[in-house]
Amino acid sequence: MTGLYEWMRFLAVLGVNNIKAFLAAEDRRAFVVDAARAFYVQVVEPIDLPGPDKFIDPLLLEATGVLAGRLYDGLMKLFPDVLDKLAASPGAVDELLASYHKFESQANGVS
């Protein structure tokens, strides 16, 4: 159960509630890169990392986008048709979201 719970939490962190916007995006890779960069700006950048901020923050921001893009590319090589099939059946997205919310409620002890 822990593995499944951690996977569902991971999807939540990545924004499972925005999956419809992701699937509707013209350029899904750019959507992922932009989301990763926004995550960096909102969560990581406010942390005072050691070193000169004017050098380190832009470098890490760029690296975050590059890594997110490469991760997306790798996943699309492994699962090339999954997103297109999911986008073609909006009911599947709603079912995925309902399952996630039900699982999250059960994990938090809410019925």
Structure confidence by residue, pLDDT tens digits, 28-52 = 899 999 988 988 888 888 887 787 8
What is the pTM for the complete model shown? Answer: 0.66
111 or 6: which leads in pLDDT: 6
Structure confidence by residue, pLDDT tens digits, 90-102 = 677 777 777 777 8
What is the mean predicted confidence (pLDDT) over 80-106?
Answer: 76
- The pLDDT confidence band at residue 1, using thresholds 50, 70 and 90, is very low
Q: Where are the domains of the chain?
A: 2-107
CA separation for the pair 61, 96 (Å, rounded) = 31
